[in-house]
Structure 1
C-alpha cells in the first residue's frame, strides 16, 4: 500500500494485517514512521515490510512491485493512500503548489494503478483514495478536490476496463478524519465545528477508514466494483 506511514495509511496497514494479509508499507519520506507501522503489525503477530519509492516514478514503483512479487509471490490488493493536500483559493494558489499535488495525487495514482492493473491476481482489488471534499465544495479546497476528481474518473473507468479479470477497482472518499495532519493548525473551536457538521457529530478516525478499505479488500466486498464509497458519517 502506498502512503502506509501516514495516519490513515498506518491504520489501513494494521487492519489488513489483522485480516491475515502480508502488508507492504510504502513510504516516500519518513522511514522511521514506516518502520514504526511495521513494528506495530509484527508485534500483533502480522507480517509487514517497509519499502521506499516515489509514487510518481514508474521505474521506482516497478521496482517496488517486483520486490513484493519476489518476497510474497504475487500482489492481491493495492491500496493508494499516498497523497498531499495544499490549500488556497484558486485565485491565489501558486501553480507550483498545484503541480506538486497533481504529481503525487494524479500522476502517482495513475502510475500505481497502471502497475496494479498489470500485476493484480484474479480475485484482487485496487483501492484508490478520493475525498468527500469533491462533494462539499469548500473554499480553499479547489486545487486539491480537482486532483481527487481525476482520481475518481480514473478509478471508475479502470473498473470497466478490467472486465473479465476478476479484479475490483474502487475509491474510498473519507470525510474529516482525526489525524495529526488534519488537527495541525486548527483550533479547538474549529475542530468542534467541523466535527458537528456530520449527522453523527464526530470526526472520523483512521480506523473508520481502515474498516472501509478492509471490506473492499476482502472477498465479502468483491461484489462492490467501480464505486466511490464515502466514509464520512453522512457529512456529504
Structure 2
C-alpha cells in the first residue's frame, strides 16, 4: 500500500478569501515504511502573505518571488500522489487549498486521484475531549518535535508520519530511517524521519499485580484447580506495552 503524508503552508487561513498555497510537502510510505522518496516545493502565490501566516511559517514574500507557480509543478505533483492514500492532519483545510489550485489549473480535484485519511478525525476519536493539534499529539505519543520552531511543510509531514505510525500500531518497529533515494527532480528531497525510539513499556503496579492475582485465584476456584491462564502464564511477569 502506498501512502503519502502531506502538509501544506498557505498565505492565510481562508481559501474563500483568495489565499493560496506557498508550500507543499509529501513523505512517501510503502507498506507503512518511509521510502526516502519525498516531494517538497515552495510556490509563488501571486499575492502577499498575511502577517499571521508569516509569523507561523517564517516565510517572507521576497523568498517566494523566484519560486514556481502551482501551474508549473502541477503535473509533477499529481504524478507523485496519483493513486496513493493521502494522510493529512485536518484534511479539510489542505484539500480545500489543493482543490482550489487544481481548479485554477483545470485539473479536477484531489478526490479524483486519491483517498484521504484525516489524522485529526482519527485523533479526536481516540482522544476525545483532548487537544489534538500536531504538537499536542507529539507530546502525548513521545514524538520529538523539538526542531519544530516554525511550521514547515516537510518537517510537519515527517512528524505526522511518525504520529500516524504510533497511533495506528503500538508495536511498529521504529528503525524506519530512510535508506536514501536518488534525486528525482529539483523538488524531490530525502530527509530521514527521526524514528529511532523504542516503544514505551509500562509495567503493572503492585496494586495492579495484586488485583491480577486475585482474579486468577477466582478463576482457579471456578475451574476446580489451576486455571488455563495461570498454567500458561505463571512464569511470565504481568506487563503491558503501549504505543
Q: Which interval holds the TM-score relative to the shorter structure?
A: under 0.3
Structure number with larger C-alpha Rg: 2
TM, length-normalised to structure 2: 0.27
TM, length-normalised to structure 1: 0.27
